[in-house]
Structure 1
Amino acid sequence: MDLRDFLFVEGVEIHLRTIFKRYSNISRFSNHLIGGYDNAKDSGNKWQGNNIIDLFEHVPPGSMALDMVSTDGGINWRPAVFIKTDRTMRDCFGSKPQINIRVAAFALNDVYLFVLMVKVGGNWYFESWLNYHADGGIGRSFFEGLASHLYIPVVFLDEGTAIASAYEVKNSVRYKFKNYLKVLPDIEPWSMDTFDEAKTIFMELLPNLCEMWRLCEEQLL
């Protein structure tokens, strides 16, 4: 089995497609590399911290990231999605929003990138990029957690860093991550810098978030 069997599109195919700006035509959001909290590139600076709250102090509403969380005193850990919001977003979400999750895989020069997307309601799209070889093993922890847990916490933060609401969302991408883990451990590791460079290229070439959501659905994994 080869990881490329699971890819939505390889880098060589990406370069043949029309170049779009990296914005949704419904809502605009920033995008962040997950697995090293010194990568909040959209803020114009590099931030370092010990947890997700350190990152979200410095990013605009619409930013999405992952962290490992525990609800039993640190005995068990699982991935959770954090999304920074503003009042307009929360009013549109309502008290019982419909939340869905999708993932797609990409490759560029033997660097593999995975985009995790969250859709809230009918027209709000968010994304984060996952790096299996992120420093400190956090990337591997995300993949293993996403492959094993039946539900993923989705946490909406307010304009600061307080939790506005949180939901347990069915993990509809679990079997895709199981497939990824069958081959990723045997692939030659890449550096964080190499991942950043590949991600920058894809961010310039991929379609808007609404179209990306539809493409994630069409990916055969």
Structure 2
Amino acid sequence: MILKVSKSGADTGFMCRTTVPVPFGSLGVQLLSIDLPSNAGTYSPAFSGAVTANGNVVAIPAQGSLEDLIDYLNGIDAPNRALFVYLHDNELEICSGPYAVVFSGDLVAYFGLPSANLAANDCTNVTLHREKMNPVAEYIVDVTAPIDGVFHDGAFTETIGFVKGPKGLSSDSHFFRFTNTPAIIRVAVYYRMKANGALFIASCDTADRWSVTLRIAN
């Protein structure tokens, strides 16, 4: 049978984890897919003094997705809107409004901008290497239950599957048997960083629903 865990972020403490009952006599579990918010992991670092427009210096906090970063840039007012940023596939277009804009060196390097300076009412374009920019390697689904999950570093874990991004199918199709039949299981989604392999609980910090789809055998 298919068990779809579907919750609102507001109902799960804005984290991608929850408990769910399973049918009596269930034999085991297999991960099929996940559907999380696009900003469930992390994406861009914080930038100090990132944008200067009309004498206003604006810092940009860390963002969970490229879309969130673009939304933040589009929300900069000085006092009128300073930037108009658009994403067309992998092409990023940044246009200025009525003010000349200066970007910090860190932001120039991050986007690969041709210059730190953008004249008023002007535009610049750059091709983004989005996979290289993404600091998250994969998303990992753990199930707390009487189960021997993925074997890692000499021990069984609670991990039952891996997904490349916040939305998608499991990259494997392994079925994990319960060692005892549980009445309730705890499902949690983590993301792993490319740089050091560190794991963090995925964030579902909106009222939107998130879901994990499992196959339960009984």
Flag the structure with higher strand content. 2
Fold match by TM threshold 0.5? no
Q: Higher relative contact order by CA 8 Å / sep ≥ 6: 1 or 2?
A: 2
Larger Rg belongs to: 2
Flag the structure with higher helix content. 1
Q: TM-score, normalised by structure 1?
A: 0.22
Q: TM-score, normalised by structure 2?
A: 0.23
